Structure 1
Protein backbone atom coordinates (compact mmCIF):
# COMPACT_ATOMS: atom_id res chain seq x y z
CA UNK A 1 0.00 0.00 0.00
CA UNK A 2 1.32 3.45 -0.80
CA UNK A 3 2.39 5.60 2.13
CA UNK A 4 -0.05 8.31 3.14
CA UNK A 5 1.52 11.72 3.69
CA UNK A 6 0.29 13.36 6.89
CA UNK A 7 0.89 17.02 7.60
CA UNK A 8 2.82 17.84 10.79
CA UNK A 9 -0.15 19.69 12.30
CA UNK A 10 -2.46 16.71 11.75
CA UNK A 11 0.17 14.28 13.03
CA UNK A 12 0.59 16.32 16.21
CA UNK A 13 -3.19 16.40 16.69
CA UNK A 14 -3.38 12.61 16.28
CA UNK A 15 -0.57 11.99 18.76
CA UNK A 16 -1.97 14.34 21.39
CA UNK A 17 -5.67 13.57 21.09
CA UNK A 18 -6.57 10.34 19.32
CA UNK A 19 -6.70 6.99 21.04
CA UNK A 20 -4.51 4.21 19.69
CA UNK A 21 -6.28 1.19 18.23
CA UNK A 22 -4.76 -2.27 18.67
CA UNK A 23 -5.16 -5.42 16.59
CA UNK A 24 -7.00 -8.37 18.13
CA UNK A 25 -3.65 -10.18 18.43
CA UNK A 26 -2.72 -7.95 21.39
CA UNK A 27 -3.32 -9.61 24.76
CA UNK A 28 -5.01 -7.47 27.42
CA UNK A 29 -1.67 -7.20 29.27
CA UNK A 30 0.26 -6.12 26.16
CA UNK A 31 -2.44 -3.60 25.26
CA UNK A 32 -2.38 -2.19 28.80
CA UNK A 33 1.44 -1.99 28.69
CA UNK A 34 1.41 -0.09 25.38
CA UNK A 35 -1.32 2.24 26.62
CA UNK A 36 0.69 2.95 29.78
CA UNK A 37 3.79 3.76 27.70
CA UNK A 38 1.77 5.98 25.36
CA UNK A 39 -0.18 7.75 28.13
CA UNK A 40 -0.90 11.30 26.97
CA UNK A 41 -0.23 12.79 30.42
CA UNK A 42 3.55 12.53 31.06
CA UNK A 43 3.00 12.44 34.84
CA UNK A 44 0.93 9.24 34.49
CA UNK A 45 3.07 7.65 31.76
CA UNK A 46 4.82 4.35 32.53
CA UNK A 47 8.58 4.54 32.26
CA UNK A 48 11.82 5.35 34.05
CA UNK A 49 10.82 7.10 37.29
CA UNK A 50 12.93 8.14 40.25
CA UNK A 51 16.02 6.40 38.91
CA UNK A 52 14.22 3.08 38.53
CA UNK A 53 12.47 0.92 35.95
CA UNK A 54 10.43 -0.87 38.61
CA UNK A 55 7.14 0.28 37.09
CA UNK A 56 8.09 -1.40 33.84
CA UNK A 57 9.49 -4.53 35.51
CA UNK A 58 6.42 -5.08 37.68
CA UNK A 59 3.84 -4.64 34.92
CA UNK A 60 1.62 -7.75 34.51
CA UNK A 61 3.00 -8.25 30.98
CA UNK A 62 6.31 -9.27 32.59
CA UNK A 63 4.94 -11.24 35.55
CA UNK A 64 6.76 -14.42 34.43
CA UNK A 65 10.10 -12.75 33.71
CA UNK A 66 12.95 -13.46 36.11
CA UNK A 67 14.90 -10.22 35.76
CA UNK A 68 17.94 -11.51 37.63
CA UNK A 69 18.19 -14.56 35.38
CA UNK A 70 17.66 -12.41 32.31
CA UNK A 71 20.42 -9.99 33.33
CA UNK A 72 22.89 -12.80 34.01
CA UNK A 73 22.21 -14.42 30.66
CA UNK A 74 20.61 -17.53 32.15
CA UNK A 75 17.36 -17.22 30.18
CA UNK A 76 17.00 -18.26 26.58
CA UNK A 77 15.15 -15.58 24.63
CA UNK A 78 11.90 -16.76 23.02
CA UNK A 79 13.00 -15.27 19.69
CA UNK A 80 16.36 -14.13 18.34
CA UNK A 81 15.95 -12.03 15.20
CA UNK A 82 18.28 -12.63 12.28
CA UNK A 83 19.98 -9.31 11.55
CA UNK A 84 20.05 -10.15 7.83
CA UNK A 85 16.29 -10.69 7.59
CA UNK A 86 13.66 -8.02 7.04
CA UNK A 87 10.64 -8.82 9.23
CA UNK A 88 8.23 -6.46 7.49
CA UNK A 89 5.34 -7.52 5.30
CA UNK A 90 6.11 -4.63 3.00
CA UNK A 91 9.66 -3.44 2.41
CA UNK A 92 8.29 0.12 2.29
CA UNK A 93 7.52 -0.24 6.02
CA UNK A 94 11.26 -0.34 6.70
CA UNK A 95 11.88 3.09 5.20
CA UNK A 96 14.41 5.24 6.99
CA UNK A 97 15.15 2.52 9.54
CA UNK A 98 16.86 0.24 7.04
CA UNK A 99 20.43 -0.75 7.83
CA UNK A 100 20.95 -1.61 4.18
CA UNK A 101 21.83 2.03 3.57
CA UNK A 102 24.76 1.57 5.94
CA UNK A 103 25.38 3.28 9.22
CA UNK A 104 28.97 4.13 10.04
CA UNK A 105 29.80 4.70 13.69
CA UNK A 106 32.46 7.26 14.41
CA UNK A 107 34.78 7.00 17.42
CA UNK A 108 32.39 8.95 19.68
CA UNK A 109 29.49 6.61 18.78
CA UNK A 110 31.59 3.51 19.41
CA UNK A 111 32.76 4.79 22.81
CA UNK A 112 29.20 5.73 23.74
CA UNK A 113 27.79 2.29 22.87
CA UNK A 114 30.60 0.46 24.66
CA UNK A 115 29.19 1.79 27.93
CA UNK A 116 26.09 -0.32 27.28
CA UNK A 117 28.06 -3.57 27.08
CA UNK A 118 27.28 -5.08 30.46
CA UNK A 119 29.03 -3.27 33.22
CA UNK A 120 32.57 -2.43 34.10
CA UNK A 121 34.01 -5.93 33.67
CA UNK A 122 36.11 -6.52 30.55
CA UNK A 123 34.12 -8.07 27.70
CA UNK A 124 36.51 -11.07 27.24
CA UNK A 125 36.12 -11.92 30.93
CA UNK A 126 32.32 -11.70 30.67
CA UNK A 127 32.32 -13.94 27.60
CA UNK A 128 34.49 -16.50 29.40
CA UNK A 129 32.13 -16.53 32.39
CA UNK A 130 29.13 -17.04 30.12
CA UNK A 131 30.82 -19.77 28.05
CA UNK A 132 31.92 -21.72 31.13
CA UNK A 133 28.40 -21.60 32.57
CA UNK A 134 29.67 -20.34 35.91
CA UNK A 135 26.40 -18.51 36.60
CA UNK A 136 24.66 -21.86 36.83
CA UNK A 137 27.21 -22.99 39.43
CA UNK A 138 26.96 -19.84 41.52
CA UNK A 139 23.29 -20.29 42.30
CA UNK A 140 22.16 -23.63 43.65
CA UNK A 141 18.49 -24.08 42.86
CA UNK A 142 16.20 -25.49 45.48
CA UNK A 143 15.09 -29.12 45.09
CA UNK A 144 11.56 -27.95 44.25
CA UNK A 145 12.97 -25.87 41.37
CA UNK A 146 12.38 -22.55 43.14
CA UNK A 147 14.77 -19.65 42.78
CA UNK A 148 17.45 -19.42 45.50
CA UNK A 149 17.21 -16.60 48.04
CA UNK A 150 20.35 -14.89 46.72
CA UNK A 151 18.48 -14.22 43.47
CA UNK A 152 15.67 -12.47 45.35
CA UNK A 153 15.53 -9.18 47.18
CA UNK A 154 14.92 -8.77 50.90
CA UNK A 155 11.15 -8.81 50.33
CA UNK A 156 11.33 -12.28 48.80
CA UNK A 157 10.59 -10.82 45.38
CA UNK A 158 13.17 -10.33 42.67
CA UNK A 159 15.15 -7.19 43.35
CA UNK A 160 16.07 -4.65 40.72
CA UNK A 161 19.81 -4.51 40.09
CA UNK A 162 21.77 -1.66 41.60
CA UNK A 163 24.33 -1.42 38.81
CA UNK A 164 24.05 -0.15 35.24
CA UNK A 165 23.42 -3.58 33.75
CA UNK A 166 23.37 -6.05 36.60
CA UNK A 167 25.76 -8.37 34.77
CA UNK A 168 28.68 -7.87 37.14
CA UNK A 169 26.66 -7.26 40.27
CA UNK A 170 28.58 -8.60 43.27
CA UNK A 171 27.01 -8.94 46.68
Structure 2
Protein backbone atom coordinates (compact mmCIF):
# COMPACT_ATOMS: atom_id res chain seq x y z
CA UNK A 1 0.00 0.00 0.00
CA UNK A 2 1.27 3.44 -0.81
CA UNK A 3 2.14 6.02 1.77
CA UNK A 4 -0.45 8.49 0.45
CA UNK A 5 -3.27 5.96 0.84
CA UNK A 6 -2.20 5.37 4.44
CA UNK A 7 -2.26 9.11 5.10
CA UNK A 8 -5.73 9.28 3.51
CA UNK A 9 -6.91 6.51 5.84
CA UNK A 10 -5.50 8.31 8.88
CA UNK A 11 -7.22 11.54 7.85
CA UNK A 12 -10.51 9.71 7.43
CA UNK A 13 -10.23 8.19 10.91
CA UNK A 14 -9.48 11.61 12.38
CA UNK A 15 -12.22 13.40 10.51
CA UNK A 16 -14.90 10.82 11.21
CA UNK A 17 -14.03 9.83 14.77
CA UNK A 18 -11.77 12.52 16.27
CA UNK A 19 -8.27 12.52 17.73
CA UNK A 20 -9.04 9.96 20.44
CA UNK A 21 -9.78 7.37 17.76
CA UNK A 22 -6.51 7.86 15.90
CA UNK A 23 -4.57 4.70 16.63
CA UNK A 24 -2.24 2.76 14.39
CA UNK A 25 -4.62 -0.20 14.58
CA UNK A 26 -7.58 1.96 13.48
CA UNK A 27 -5.61 3.42 10.58
CA UNK A 28 -4.38 -0.01 9.47
CA UNK A 29 -7.93 -1.36 9.59
CA UNK A 30 -9.29 1.62 7.65
CA UNK A 31 -6.55 1.22 5.04
CA UNK A 32 -7.08 -2.54 4.79
CA UNK A 33 -3.49 -3.37 5.67
CA UNK A 34 -1.79 -5.16 8.52
CA UNK A 35 -0.45 -3.09 11.35
CA UNK A 36 3.02 -4.22 10.24
CA UNK A 37 2.33 -2.80 6.77
CA UNK A 38 1.47 0.53 8.34
CA UNK A 39 4.49 0.43 10.66
CA UNK A 40 6.76 -0.06 7.65
CA UNK A 41 5.86 3.45 6.50
CA UNK A 42 5.07 5.06 9.85
CA UNK A 43 6.81 3.45 12.84
CA UNK A 44 4.86 5.58 15.36
CA UNK A 45 1.63 7.49 15.62
CA UNK A 46 3.71 10.66 15.91
CA UNK A 47 5.46 9.89 12.60
CA UNK A 48 2.04 9.44 10.99
CA UNK A 49 0.75 12.76 12.34
CA UNK A 50 3.94 14.58 11.28
CA UNK A 51 3.54 13.18 7.77
CA UNK A 52 -0.08 14.37 7.62
CA UNK A 53 0.90 17.87 8.77
CA UNK A 54 3.78 17.98 6.28
CA UNK A 55 1.43 16.99 3.47
CA UNK A 56 -0.99 19.82 4.33
CA UNK A 57 1.89 22.31 4.28
CA UNK A 58 3.43 20.97 1.07
CA UNK A 59 0.13 21.00 -0.80
CA UNK A 60 -0.57 24.59 0.24
CA UNK A 61 2.96 25.64 -0.72
CA UNK A 62 2.47 24.03 -4.15
CA UNK A 63 -0.79 25.90 -4.70
CA UNK A 64 0.75 29.22 -3.71
CA UNK A 65 3.68 28.57 -6.05
CA UNK A 66 1.26 27.79 -8.89
CA UNK A 67 -0.46 31.17 -8.47
CA UNK A 68 2.62 33.32 -7.70
CA UNK A 69 3.85 35.00 -10.89
CA UNK A 70 6.62 36.97 -9.15
CA UNK A 71 5.10 40.39 -9.74
CA UNK A 72 4.79 42.91 -6.90
CA UNK A 73 2.17 41.70 -4.44
CA UNK A 74 1.71 38.41 -6.27
CA UNK A 75 2.71 36.29 -3.28
CA UNK A 76 -0.17 37.63 -1.20
CA UNK A 77 -2.58 37.34 -4.12
CA UNK A 78 -1.37 33.76 -4.62
CA UNK A 79 -1.86 33.09 -0.92
CA UNK A 80 -5.46 34.32 -1.12
CA UNK A 81 -6.21 32.35 -4.30
CA UNK A 82 -4.69 29.19 -2.81
CA UNK A 83 -6.68 29.66 0.38
CA UNK A 84 -9.95 30.01 -1.48
CA UNK A 85 -9.15 27.08 -3.76
CA UNK A 86 -8.48 24.89 -0.76
CA UNK A 87 -11.54 26.06 1.15
CA UNK A 88 -14.09 26.32 -1.65
CA UNK A 89 -12.66 24.64 -4.72
CA UNK A 90 -12.62 21.12 -5.95
CA UNK A 91 -10.60 20.07 -2.91
CA UNK A 92 -13.06 21.37 -0.30
CA UNK A 93 -14.17 18.04 1.20
CA UNK A 94 -10.66 16.66 1.18
CA UNK A 95 -9.43 19.83 2.85
CA UNK A 96 -11.76 19.34 5.78
CA UNK A 97 -10.33 15.87 6.29
CA UNK A 98 -6.78 17.08 5.93
CA UNK A 99 -7.27 19.93 8.35
CA UNK A 100 -8.07 17.35 11.02
CA UNK A 101 -4.37 16.43 10.89
CA UNK A 102 -3.55 19.89 12.19
CA UNK A 103 -6.02 19.37 15.01
CA UNK A 104 -4.34 16.09 15.92
CA UNK A 105 -0.94 17.76 16.05
CA UNK A 106 -2.04 20.90 17.86
CA UNK A 107 -1.56 19.61 21.39
CA UNK A 108 2.03 18.47 20.87
CA UNK A 109 4.66 21.21 20.37
CA UNK A 110 6.95 18.86 18.44
CA UNK A 111 4.22 17.71 16.06
CA UNK A 112 2.91 21.21 15.41
CA UNK A 113 6.40 22.69 14.90
CA UNK A 114 6.36 22.28 11.09
CA UNK A 115 3.12 24.25 10.89
CA UNK A 116 4.50 26.98 13.12
CA UNK A 117 7.54 27.23 10.84
CA UNK A 118 5.31 27.33 7.75
CA UNK A 119 3.11 30.02 9.30
CA UNK A 120 6.14 32.16 10.08
CA UNK A 121 7.36 31.71 6.51
CA UNK A 122 3.94 32.35 4.95
CA UNK A 123 3.50 35.56 6.91
CA UNK A 124 7.02 36.94 6.61
CA UNK A 125 6.77 40.09 4.54
CA UNK A 126 9.37 40.95 1.95
CA UNK A 127 8.90 44.72 1.53
CA UNK A 128 10.65 44.56 -1.84
CA UNK A 129 7.91 42.31 -3.21
CA UNK A 130 4.87 43.79 -1.51
CA UNK A 131 3.82 47.32 -2.57
CA UNK A 132 1.92 47.77 0.71
CA UNK A 133 3.34 45.37 3.33
CA UNK A 134 0.70 46.29 5.92
CA UNK A 135 -2.19 45.63 3.52
CA UNK A 136 -0.57 42.33 2.55
CA UNK A 137 -0.33 41.34 6.20
CA UNK A 138 -3.97 42.23 6.83
CA UNK A 139 -5.09 40.26 3.79
CA UNK A 140 -3.14 37.12 4.74
CA UNK A 141 -4.39 37.33 8.33
CA UNK A 142 -7.96 37.64 7.03
CA UNK A 143 -7.39 34.52 4.92
CA UNK A 144 -6.14 32.72 8.03
CA UNK A 145 -9.24 33.83 9.89
CA UNK A 146 -11.41 32.41 7.13
CA UNK A 147 -9.63 29.03 7.50
CA UNK A 148 -10.46 29.09 11.19
CA UNK A 149 -14.11 30.06 10.75
CA UNK A 150 -14.77 27.51 8.01
CA UNK A 151 -13.03 24.74 9.94
CA UNK A 152 -15.63 25.16 12.69
CA UNK A 153 -18.62 26.37 10.66
CA UNK A 154 -18.27 25.17 7.06
CA UNK A 155 -21.62 26.67 6.07
CA UNK A 156 -20.98 30.12 7.56
CA UNK A 157 -20.86 31.71 4.12
CA UNK A 158 -22.58 30.81 0.89
CA UNK A 159 -20.82 30.62 -2.47
CA UNK A 160 -21.68 34.21 -3.38
CA UNK A 161 -20.39 35.57 -0.07
CA UNK A 162 -17.15 33.64 -0.42
CA UNK A 163 -16.65 34.93 -3.96
CA UNK A 164 -17.21 38.48 -2.72
CA UNK A 165 -14.75 37.98 0.13
CA UNK A 166 -12.11 36.67 -2.23
CA UNK A 167 -12.65 39.54 -4.64
CA UNK A 168 -12.37 42.10 -1.82
CA UNK A 169 -9.20 40.57 -0.40
CA UNK A 170 -7.59 40.43 -3.84
CA UNK A 171 -8.56 44.06 -4.50
CA UNK A 172 -6.71 45.08 -1.35
CA UNK A 173 -3.45 43.84 -2.89
CA UNK A 174 -4.17 44.64 -6.51
CA UNK A 175 -1.13 45.36 -8.70
Higher relative contact order (CA 8 A, sep 6+): 2
Answer with 1 or 2: which has the greater Rg.
1
Q: Give the structure-1-normalised TM-score.
A: 0.25
- TM-score, normalization: structure 2? 0.24
